[in-house]
Structure 1
Amino acid sequence: MEEGTADEENVRVPPLLTDMASDRLDVLIKHPFHRETVEHLVKFIRDLRECRTAEDYVAFQQDLLHATLAANGARAERSRVIKRLRRGQKLPPDAPELVVGDPHDLDDWRLELDVLERVGRQLRSIGDAMAWRAFHYDRRHILALRRNASPGPMTLSKDGTVHEIQFAQQQWSEHQQFAMLHDLTDCLRIGDVTVFSRPDHNNEQDILLYELKTNPNRREGAQLQRTRMAAEALHEGGPLPGHENARLIDTGVPYATHLSALTDAFAFAHRDGMKTMRVPGQRGLLACDISAAGDKWGLQEARRQFHAQYAALLRRSRLTGERVCYGSGDRAARNSLIAPWGIYPLQPAQCAGLIADVLVFTVTLSSDNFVEELRRAGLDVQWILPEGAEIELAQPLLEIKGHGSRLRVACDEIERLLLELTDLNTWAEGIDRLLETTQSSCQPWPYFNEEHQVWA
């Protein structure tokens, strides 16, 4: 459950929402591109939940592909203008129209670039939801196929993209099979396309992973080797790509969450602006409907209310030790371990609100209470992060011992436990079985059963 991370593409990284000045954040969220995308997200989620047949998925993917290429194309156009302005050159004659601001102001172009970067991630989050649904909410496929660097924005300027789209169209026209394009997602980073065969008379189907070559004479490379490893990990129990000892491990435990609390919290937040409540596992939940809170208090007072209500929640929860807190804000298509917001058991508009950060929630527990809960379940647990250390996604935070084995749990897994409101007894039972059945040399990636009963 530990993993190294690869560098993202070498481009300017847009600031996180939490790092933005409040006035810039307000302009970004209200930008016409962003507001229009929120409406599209609701429709995408509704349409995805209606997908039943290969034809449904093909039509859905075509709509998502069209929106993604349009957003990434607009982003590339603005990037080109920014490069010219930075060099002190004039606007090119074919420059796109700046939707908001002064076309001679570099910062206004950068704002629009940041908006389109967010739009691109939001659409990729929808792609992730498509992948989860197509794989019948079986997390094994995500765990196996996420282990690579992000390919960057999907554009028709890449020869490989054109080839992959043509391959997918051919699979449908000639074989009536749905071929899922990985570059529409953030979570599928190994292989180019997954093809779902037509179900047989027992309603079973083959799922085939393809690494496509634009040049048939090209020798087998590292990417094809990783694709084969991922397929063998899924079907034969082989090692996961990237680590010879990493394996998918079946805990045999049905997955359970407390996401019904999130449903209730957002219902109250829509009416009152915010809602706080306690969640089993000694966790504190705060949900905020930014639009409702803004209407009730105004944005400045809403921010003050957020901090005040969060502080009150901490007092009521009586959390001791260090606070461990994760929030939903700006998380769309950022941590592929976490189920995408589009499949959460919420209304489509609420899922879209989470993707677009007009609905947000935070979940907090204390280091002491967390260890107490897991020890109560029979696990020997301790925090191992050195005091003052900088936390990264792959940073080991927790060590668990049992049955003669030892397991280190990374930061991104703790984030998943909180944001999915995983039932801690369920997780502890799964980890206990993992320690009992896994060799000490193995780097396990556990998965739980019956996740289709949890997600939308």
Structure 2
Amino acid sequence: MKLFDPGFGPEEVLVHPRQQAAQADLVPLIERVRTCRSPQDGYELQQDLLRHIRAVESDRNAFSRAVKRMRDGKAPQVGAPEPQSGLDRSDIETWILERELCERVGRQFRSVGDALVWRAFNRDRRYILALCRNPPPGIMEGKVGLEAELETVERHWRDDGRFALMHDLTNCLRIGDITVWQDDGPHTYEIKTKDRYRSRAQEQRIETAYEAIRTGSALPGDNPDERLHDIGTPLRTHMELLQTATQRAATDGIFAAKVPGSRALIAVDLHGVISQGWTREEFGQRLARQWNAARRRARIGDQLDLNMHATSLDSVSRDPLRVPWGIYPIHPVAAARLIGDVMTLTVETSGPSLAADLTARGIPAQWVRPPGTGELVAGEVVMEMHSQAEWRASNGLTATLSRTLQVRPSEMDRYLIELMDQDCWAAGIRHLLLSPDTSDRPWPVFRDEGQTWL
């Protein structure tokens, strides 16, 4: 288990004072997201998030500078923050750990910003799908133009009492700089210090995103076939199982279970594990035994190189398509633990078993990812579904519509980590296969998501 590319282990990360302080801060922030009812609630929560993120990014910038100096054979700069790990100050690895902790905690706070986005957009996934389609934002602290964005937020609040959400406080909003909720709904803007810095291309991406939401036209990007599609089916999930999993893991340390739809779930909570008093060897044995039993019950344990999984581990504010843990219908403490990797969740499926499930529902499907392929690549096709429909035209001729849908990692991740009901998921696939309006790269949107997410 490694949490960072440099290879720091969980014992160095999860007990770090900065990580533990973030855990304490996340719970009340998540509670405030869930109780946001007014522009003032959103404005005040954003001010607190801004304070947390700017502070941790300021330290990250300073630790990054110290690491660069040490690589050049120099001492850390005067005024550099004191490492909180208690490790050797003369060892560059100590400073690298501090820098990586800051990056990690900054993403955890941005995960709360993502939850605020979902709350402000009334849990309408279309806005996130349309406005996430840019490269990820960089460090906010020290960014050119930050003061102009801050002043714009204050002006909207001071003059009109309107909530203006800063995209830099989130991971999922990547097009535009701020979104303002006005009388006719949300509006997204680029903020520039001078008019000559304005980019027509950037403003066009905002216009394209909103047009895609309104009319189903092409999403921002180079592929005109990428479009939102309203499935017309209410979203159904197995959130009750997630609630049970997080509660049981918090007390028992490990909880594993079969999930309907050829899936197995395992949740591990550090506090629950510690309370059991297991040795490292005992923990490993119990983890393997419970996980393998859940796989067997789900009928996915025979050929593991044909399995796919989604995990919560060190994932927050990396993928803008992921629903943030802060709005899942689980206890705020459980959400904070998932955000900070104090609790981890993994959901796994067998590709061939999943294809067989769909085929049994009348959707011919084939798992096309070869065994032993290694790590998934973004955009890789893992499964294909086919349909063919015929109808007789008025002139007596017969028309045939054949279509193939390809499933890629982003859709598999959603099916797994959101614990989507398989019948609901299959209904969405069937809709896309049979609708004559389906584009070659559809992004499905189910109805009534507000009844799933808090």
Residue 422 of structure 1 corresponds to 420
Residue 308 of structure 1 corresponds to 289
Correspondence 1:347 to 2:347: no
Correspondence 1:71 to 2:56: yes
The amino acid across from 1:159 in the alignment is V
1:217 Cα shift?
A: 2.3
Q: In the alignment, is the contact (CA less than 8 A) between 1:374 and 1:425 conserved in 2? A: no
TM-score of the two chains, using structure 2 as the length reference: 0.91
Equivalent residue for 1:385, pick from 360, 364, 369: 369
Separation in 2 of the partners of 1:70 and 1:300? 39
Question: For residues 42 and 438 of structure 1, do their structure 2 counterparts lie closer, same or farther at Cα, with a shift above 3 Å needed?
Answer: farther
The amino acid across from 2:13 in the alignment is L
Residue 268 of structure 2 corresponds to 288
Separation in 2 of the partners of 1:216 and 1:50? 38
Stretches of structure 1 that go unaligned for 5 or more consecutive residues are 1-14, 199-204
Q: In the alignment, is the contact (CA less than 8 A) between 1:71 and 1:120 conserved in 2? A: yes
Q: In the alignment, is the contact (CA less than 8 A) between 2:252 and 2:273 conserved in 1? A: yes
Separation in 1 of the partners of 2:320 and 2:385? 23
Separation in 2 of the partners of 1:338 and 1:427? 17
Partner SS state of residue 145, structure 2: helix
Residue 240 of structure 2 corresponds to 260
1:273-323 residue CA offsets vs partner (Å, 9 max, x unmatched): 111111111321111111111231144532342223212222333325522
Question: For residues 300 and 18 of structure 1, do their structure 2 counterparts lie closer, same or farther at Cα, with a shift above 3 Å needed?
Answer: farther
1:60-100 residue CA offsets vs partner (Å, 9 max, x unmatched): 11100110111111100100101000000122222221212
Correspondence 1:158 to 2:156: no
Residue 368 of structure 1 corresponds to 352
Partner SS state of residue 17, structure 1: coil
Q: Which runs of 4+ in 1 moved over 6 A?
A: none
Residue 251 of structure 2 corresponds to 271
Question: For residues 166 and 16 of structure 1, do their structure 2 counterparts lie closer, same or farther at Cα, with a shift above 3 Å needed?
Answer: farther
Partner SS state of residue 142, structure 1: helix
Please say which of residues 212-221 and 337-346 is displaced more in the overlay.
Answer: 212-221
The amino acid across from 1:292 in the alignment is G
The amino acid across from 2:79 in the alignment is D
- Alignment RMSD (CA, Å): 1.8
Correspondence 1:141 to 2:132: no
Equivalent residue for 2:186, pick from 182, 207, 213: 207
1:239 Cα shift?
A: 0.9
Residue 36 of structure 2 corresponds to 51
Residue 26 of structure 2 corresponds to 41
TM-score of the two chains, using structure 1 as the length reference: 0.91
Equivalent residue for 1:109, pick from 95, 108, 118: 95
Structure with higher Rg: it is 2
Question: For residues 64 and 189 of structure 1, do their structure 2 counterparts lie closer, same or farther at Cα, with a shift above 3 Å needed?
Answer: same
1:271 Cα shift?
A: 2.0
Equivalent residue for 2:154, pick from 169, 190, 195: 169
Residue 232 of structure 1 corresponds to 211
Q: In the alignment, is the contact (CA less than 8 A) between 1:127 and 1:184 conserved in 2? A: yes
Correspondence 1:433 to 2:413: no
Correspondence 1:326 to 2:310: yes
The amino acid across from 1:391 in the alignment is L
The amino acid across from 2:218 in the alignment is P
Q: Percentage identity across aligned positions?
A: 39
Partner SS state of residue 58, structure 2: helix
Q: In the alignment, is the contact (CA less than 8 A) between 2:4 and 2:100 conserved in 1? A: no
Correspondence 1:121 to 2:107: yes
Correspondence 1:356 to 2:335: no
Q: In the alignment, is the contact (CA less than 8 A) between 2:257 and 2:266 conserved in 1? A: yes
Partner SS state of residue 377, structure 2: coil
Please say which of residues 35-44 and 379-388 is displaced more in the overlay.
Answer: 379-388
1:429 Cα shift?
A: 0.4
Partner SS state of residue 30, structure 1: coil
1:344 Cα shift?
A: 0.7
The amino acid across from 2:126 in the alignment is R
1:173 Cα shift?
A: 0.6
Q: In the alignment, is the contact (CA less than 8 A) between 1:377 and 1:429 conserved in 2? A: no
The amino acid across from 1:410 in the alignment is R
Equivalent residue for 1:406, pick from 398, 404, 407: 404
Separation in 2 of the partners of 1:367 and 1:18? 28
Please say which of residues 71-80 and 388-397 is displaced more in the overlay.
Answer: 388-397
Question: For residues 433 and 316 of structure 1, do their structure 2 counterparts lie closer, same or farther at Cα, with a shift above 3 Å needed?
Answer: closer
Query: How do residues 175-254 of structure 1 correspond to structure 2 at under 5 angstroms?
Result: 175-198=160-183, 205-218=184-197, 220-242=199-221, 243-254=223-234
The amino acid across from 1:146 in the alignment is C
Separation in 2 of the partners of 1:230 and 1:196? 16
Separation in 2 of the partners of 1:380 and 1:386? 18
Q: In the alignment, is the contact (CA less than 8 A) between 1:120 and 1:153 conserved in 2? A: no
The amino acid across from 1:381 in the alignment is A
1:368 Cα shift?
A: 2.3
1:329 Cα shift?
A: 1.1
1:120 Cα shift?
A: 0.8
The amino acid across from 1:301 in the alignment is E
Residue 9 of structure 1 corresponds to none
Partner SS state of residue 322, structure 2: coil
The amino acid across from 2:215 in the alignment is E
Stretches of structure 2 that go unaligned for 5 or more consecutive residues are 389-401
